[in-house]
Structure 1
Amino acid sequence: HVYVTILETPKDEAKWIANQIETLVKSKSLDYSDFGILLRSVNTSGEPLIQEFKRRKIPYLVGGTAGLFRREEATAVGKLFTWLYDEGFWRDHRGKVEYSDLIESAIGDWERATGVILSVDREGIKEELKKWKNDVRNSKFHNFQDAYHALLNILRFKELNPNDKLHASIMANLGRFSNLLSDYENAIRIGGNKLRWNNSNLRGLMWYFYLYATTVYEEQSGEDIRGIDSVQITTIHQAKGLEWAVVFIPALVYGRFPSSYMNEQKKWLISRTLFPADRYDLKEDDERRLFYVAVTRAKSTLVLNSFKRISVRKSMSKFLKETLTDNPKIIHSMDPKGDRVIDVDVEQSSGSENEIYTFDAGEIIDYTKCPYFYRLRYVWSYNAPLNEELGYGNALHYCLRRAVELHRKGYNSLSAILEAVNNDFHLPYAPKFKAEEMKKSAERILMDYVIENLDDISSVSEVEYRLEFPRKNSTITGKVDVIIDRNEFVEVREYKTSTKVTKPDQVALQVKLYTLGLGNLGYNVGKGSAVYLSERVMKYIDVNDKSLNYAKAYAEQILTDIHNQKYEPKLGDFCEKCDY
């Protein structure tokens, strides 16, 4: 189904689109996530839609360079982090907020975005925020994520309902802000630098917001939004490879699409003669290809929208004119003042059951630890805190891999371990003295392991073997630590630093999933094992048919629960180790 509608103004266009979405969600068993709104520029054309969706409480996510900080929950926490710097200010599309007004402005943004009313105890909230600022400046928090979690608790984050579609999109966007903080902290701490909560770093964070993050960080991108039921407002560039049941392409007017910058030469800080600058100039063919991408994103229904005026009269996009001329019998005109609703083939376009998602085996294991942890980590993308030991397990794995490679080149097993640890052990965030201390620990752990299992390193046939295999409308991917050749069969082995974070039964499930995947590739897996390096313990894992069938059924049930968005918290021992 293809429709065209010409509205009077961009606001009228936004109202008409919102009406169609609301009606279809109520009457056609469609979800909000079945709708995509594709724009040539979200910055230029997105605001009327954003304001209309806010007014009607339609859950939405915004892509494009206008993305994250068009959302008031993001500006609220951004302003409060800016307030940590004594001369901080905030500037965005709404104007400038001076330091003295940052708290009031942030509270207002938070209340409008979330509906969580802080003004009932405004003075109490302000006192909590002042204490939070004092704790930050006095280095109570060891990383940005811990400080962020403390701030969210002050703002009553836990009063948000993750099963409410509006709240879920807000919580997802706050996860995106978590990514932003991690990126900034990573730049400070890489190489073992200590995090100091001084004016220099806090001033740097403010300018990072102002000069970079406000125009670069989008909301959750298309591939990250499984489980978030929201309309997606995004640029056509970001829509490549994605599909929706219903696609609206608004603002098809002269100067918007194709872009008014078409055929202009870009200005560069270096001479255009030093590189093929013409390749980067916007040409009509580029815009036509982009239009093709946009009109091919709909599974069932495509709606082309235009409007007549903003402050002055606007003419129709040449692409829309050509489309109407070339397809007079295919495109249906819609009366903007009528009550007609666009047609959608629900069965054809409903892809939630048939859509293939990819899951890493580690994701499935993390779901068994706690479904709500899984939601925070993988659905909403909240980052884990940075710490000096981060990467220790990966460094051990890599040194084992290098040792196997060196052994194949003729090194004896012990020399291979010493060489690998000496040259390849690296912790990106540990200061020099800490890195050396942990390097010695790694050398001792790996040497002990090799001494006790001297023959195994000679029998390794594959290291970090990547595989993927289908399971329950999904693809499971993974990386087998080692495959050991036992002549008549192979052994699948996983290495873990300890049993503290991942329990033996969870590691066993991972080994069994890898066994199933390798079986599909023709491997005869006769044994499974897990080695806990710090504890010098090896546990063998049953991989007979009965055990594998149980693991297969269990994994399929987990995948079904993820598809059905079952993310209830699992209270228990893991809560003490949880990053959140």
Structure 2
Amino acid sequence: MLKTETTKYLKYDVLNEVQQGLFVDRYSAQSGLTTSTDLNGKPLRRYRDTAHYTATLSILREADVELAKLQGCSVVDGLESYRKLLDQHSYLDYSSILETAVEILTNDAGVRERLTERVKCVIVDEYQDVNPIQEAIVWSLHELGARICVVGDDDQTIYQWRGSDVENILTFAQRYPEVEQIQLEENFRSSEGIVETARAFIEQNGARLPKAMKPTGVQPYEQGDIVALSFSSAAEEARYIAATAQALRGVAFLEDGKERGLTWSDMAVLLRSVRASAQPITEALRAAGIPFVVTGMTNLFGTSEAEAARQLFYFMGDRHGVTEAVVEQAWLDADLGLDPSELRAAITSLVAAKAALADPEQKRWGQYSIQRVFLSFLDEAGVREERVPNGRGEVVFYNLGKFSQLVSDFETIHYHSKPVEKYASFADFLEYRAEDAYPEGWQDNQYATPDAVRIMTVHQAKGMQWPVVFIPALLKNRFPAKKPGGRNVWHLLPREAIRGQARFEGTLEDERRLFYVAMTRSQKFLHLTWGPVAGSQLFQMKSPFWEDILASKYVKRRSPDYSSRRHIAPTPRAGVTNVVFTFSDLKYFFECPYQFKLRVLYGFNAPIHEALGYGKSLHDALAEVHARAVRGDVADVGEVPRLLQTHLRVPYAYPALR
């Protein structure tokens, strides 16, 4: 809406959560970070407090805030500084998109008139996860005369820690006029065992809309499909997961009326926290020779190919005494089928690129692009999907694509930094902050689905389904999660200033909803397990949810034997996902299908070009001219300077080009 209804925002780019943190760090004073204090008057520090500061900025803009109770809260002044900095750089973040939309819907008479004429019906999906400012947008459109259709399930409200307010869906019928409710009660995804076990579990929550959940029988339930087992250790639990995955591979599975053999990509391991619980599982899968991918950036550097890439940039950034020999050995250890002579030639090029960073005649920043160095190295070293042994090519390129995305996030903010400093900062980012900078719920930017077991958080799994789901680490203090201690946003922001503040910290009912979502990702096989974590007093006991699970007649307590199940050739799910491709995506496809695969499916990004933005600026100027002409306001040639001033944005241009 901002770009279609207001010409100012046509040239603005949107920062993702990671780029936002990097942006605040780079401009730590101008963004208000280091000029703000916590509630005790202690100054906020760059890096240490960045995540808490940006989270506080989001709460102030998206939550229902009592302004009178913010007196003396210095982060309020920091927010004003941050808003100005965003505008100065023509950036929006997610919260600023929402608050600007509310402002326009409230105060811009022209936009209100146009939307009243055009918008007759608004459909809101996943309505249970709407927060106060999103609800304000829905209500504003309703006031303009639009009919509102919301779709949601209050039992799947899992983003309360980011401000989602389940009260919106619970009270919708009381707040909006002439509400008609249509209940979608038939479950076409899961077997009777999954549906009934999940239903009995979630019905223990008090505040929920009444509903029936009816299995359709599309997926048959058989004894041994759902299992709950205890183990003596997390390592033993992980070995069970690996062995069960092997036993289930090839088991006949009914889908869309046809049978196929289960394969690795039909299996998912869903965790309350990947960062806390994934390591023994990845070790067990690796030892068993089972391909796997970890969704998001968590554990990325647990893969040998990403670690080799990190060593490359330790060398470029002069960190840890990494030499050419160390880089060479790291890439050989990654076992990618590389030719040693090609690898040495690529490292020789790296040495030349590193020497060029200190060139006093630096003129064009694009020559020192981190992404360009990374992609050139992969090309010169002969890193090829088909060369990777043991059928690991897809998984390796999936992980290298994630590394490329990480490079882009960093370079978007630090493109103009001096080359030597930029590479040193990037090396530090890789070592100290990269994995923590990406939230556990971070979704990958790839469309590729390698034939591999997926490991992810329950939050990442929302909206997905698999024939086989493992939910391990069902431990007290892990799931349901123990409230985190230490420094948090409430050291920066008074609790009493935020209406409904408790939802940000989560309740037992919130954790139960999350576990319900985890169970209902399974179509047929569901394995629920726990084992104490060695050396930790906190994680020695089973989850409080454990007995609730065992109460279901569908849940068996002994290890299943799948050898008697019919086995056929493992076959990945066939299907076409609805995706939206840009013109550039299609251009890649028609010019070089493999380039399309690398960029669109695996998520590799191209190096930033200095002229990026010039063509879009022309399009934006013409878009304004066209939009005004449609309304009968024909632009005059004398407006060209203003159009240029309004729309020209070439953020990566070196001074002479600009």
TM-score, length of structure 1 as denominator length: 0.63
TM-superposed CA distance for 1:390, in Å, is 0.9
Q: Which residue of 2 aligns with 1:76?
A: 308
Q: Which residue of 1 aligns with 2:246?
A: 22
TM-superposed CA distance for 1:306, in Å, is 1.7
Mark the CA change 1:263 to 1:205 in structure 2 (over 3 Å): closer, same or farther.
closer
Task: Give deviations 1:22-76, integer Å, cap 9, x for gaps.
Answer: 2333454223221110011112110011112222332211135633222221122
Q: Which residue of 2 aligns with 1:404?
A: 626
Distance in 2 between the 1:432 and 1:101 partners? 34
Specify the SS of the correspondent of 1:389.
coil
Q: Which residue of 1 aligns with 2:369?
A: 143
- Match for 1:44 among 256, 266, 276? 276
Q: Which residue of 1 aligns with 2:647?
A: 424
TM-superposed CA distance for 1:339, in Å, is 4.5
Tell me if structure 2 keeps the 8 A contact 1:406–1:416: no
Unaligned segments of structure 1, at least 5 residues: 89-98, 436-580
Q: Which residue of 2 aligns with 1:243?
A: 465
Task: Give deviations 1:140-183, integer Å, cap 9, x for gaps.
Answer: 93422221123224544137547964221111211111111122
Unaligned segments of structure 2, at least 5 residues: 1-224, 253-260
In terms of fraction of residues, the more strand-rich structure is 1
TM-superposed CA distance for 1:81, in Å, is 0.7
Tell me if structure 2 keeps the 8 A contact 1:110–1:116: no
Distance in 2 between the 1:389 and 1:124 partners? 31
Tell me if structure 1 keeps the 8 A contact 2:250–2:263: no
Distance in 2 between the 1:219 and 1:105 partners? 33
Q: Which residue of 2 aligns with 1:288?
A: 512
Task: Give deviations 1:343-380, integer Å, cap 9, x for gaps.
Answer: 79999x99943454223263345322221011111011
TM-superposed CA distance for 1:187, in Å, is 0.8
- Match for 2:430 among 209, 228, 243? 209
Tell me if structure 1 keeps the 8 A contact 2:250–2:568: no
The one-letter code sitting in structure 1 at the alignment partner of 2:426 is L
Identical-pair percentage: 26
Tell me if structure 2 keeps the 8 A contact 1:143–1:387: no
1:35 and 2:267 correspond: yes
TM-superposed CA distance for 1:398, in Å, is 1.2
1:53 and 2:278 correspond: no
TM-superposed CA distance for 1:101, in Å, is 4.7
Distance in 2 between the 1:304 and 1:81 partners? 41
Pairing 1:138-287 to 2, within 5 Å after superposition: 138=359, 141-153=367-379, 155-158=381-384, 161=387, 165-189=391-415, 193=416, 196-198=418-420, 200-217=421-438, 221=443, 224-261=446-483, 266=488, 268-273=490-495, 275-276=497-498, 277-287=501-511
- Match for 2:579 among 341, 347, 358? 358
Q: Which residue of 1 aligns with 2:37?
A: none
TM-superposed CA distance for 1:249, in Å, is 0.3
CA RMSD of aligned residues (A): 3.6
Q: Which residue of 2 aligns with 1:310?
A: 534
Specify the SS of the correspondent of 2:523.
strand
Mark the CA change 1:404 to 1:224 in structure 2 (over 3 Å): closer, same or farther.
same
Tell me if structure 2 keeps the 8 A contact 1:13–1:306: yes
Q: Which has the higher contact order (CA 8 A, sep 6+)?
A: 2
Mark the CA change 1:262 to 1:238 in structure 2 (over 3 Å): closer, same or farther.
same
1:387 and 2:617 correspond: no
Specify the SS of the correspondent of 2:470.
strand
Distance in 2 between the 1:219 and 1:265 partners? 21
Moved more, 169-178 or 300-309: 300-309
Mark the CA change 1:216 to 1:232 in structure 2 (over 3 Å): closer, same or farther.
farther
Pairing 1:80-91 to 2, within 5 Å after superposition: 80-86=312-318, 88=319
Distance in 2 between the 1:108 and 1:317 partners? 44
The one-letter code sitting in structure 2 at the alignment partner of 1:357 is N
Task: Give deviations 1:318-363, integer Å, cap 9, x for gaps.
Answer: 11211112x1x2112332xx7446979999x999434542232633
Mark the CA change 1:288 to 1:104 in structure 2 (over 3 Å): closer, same or farther.
farther
Q: Which residue of 2 aligns with 1:515?
A: none
Specify the SS of the correspondent of 1:385.
coil
Q: Which residue of 1 aligns with 2:4?
A: none
Tell me if structure 2 keeps the 8 A contact 1:114–1:167: no
Tell me if structure 2 keeps the 8 A contact 1:15–1:52: yes
The one-letter code sitting in structure 2 at the alignment partner of 1:353 is A
Tell me if structure 2 keeps the 8 A contact 1:263–1:282: no
Specify the SS of the correspondent of 1:83.
helix
Distance in 2 between the 1:219 and 1:379 partners? 20
Tell me if structure 2 keeps the 8 A contact 1:404–1:416: no
TM-score, length of structure 2 as denominator length: 0.56
Q: Which residue of 1 aligns with 2:230?
A: 6
Distance in 1 between the 2:564 and 2:323 partners? 45
The one-letter code sitting in structure 1 at the alignment partner of 2:452 is S
Mark the CA change 1:412 to 1:291 in structure 2 (over 3 Å): closer, same or farther.
closer
Tell me if structure 2 keeps the 8 A contact 1:245–1:301: yes
Q: Which residue of 2 aligns with 1:446?
A: none
Specify the SS of the correspondent of 2:657.
helix
Distance in 2 between the 1:173 and 1:78 partners? 12
Tell me if structure 2 keeps the 8 A contact 1:172–1:220: no
Task: Give deviations 1:384-424, integer Å, cap 9, x for gaps.
Answer: 11111112222221111111123344335645656433432
Distance in 2 between the 1:3 and 1:343 partners? 16
Pairing 1:538-549 to 2, within 5 Å after superposition: none
The one-letter code sitting in structure 2 at the alignment partner of 1:399 is A
- Match for 2:294 among 51, 58, 62? 62
Tell me if structure 1 keeps the 8 A contact 2:306–2:399: yes
The one-letter code sitting in structure 2 at the alignment partner of 1:253 is L
Tell me if structure 1 keeps the 8 A contact 2:387–2:393: yes
- Match for 2:337 among 110, 116, 120? 116
Moved more, 49-58 or 402-411: 402-411
> How many residue pairs are counted as aligned between the two chains?
414
The one-letter code sitting in structure 2 at the alignment partner of 1:116 is G
The one-letter code sitting in structure 2 at the alignment partner of 1:23 is A
Tell me if structure 2 keeps the 8 A contact 1:334–1:340: no
Distance in 1 between the 2:580 and 2:232 partners? 46
Moved more, 56-65 or 210-219: 210-219
Pairing 1:448-527 to 2, within 5 Å after superposition: none
1:324 and 2:544 correspond: no
Specify the SS of the correspondent of 1:318.
coil
The one-letter code sitting in structure 2 at the alignment partner of 1:21 is A
Tell me if structure 1 keeps the 8 A contact 2:346–2:377: no
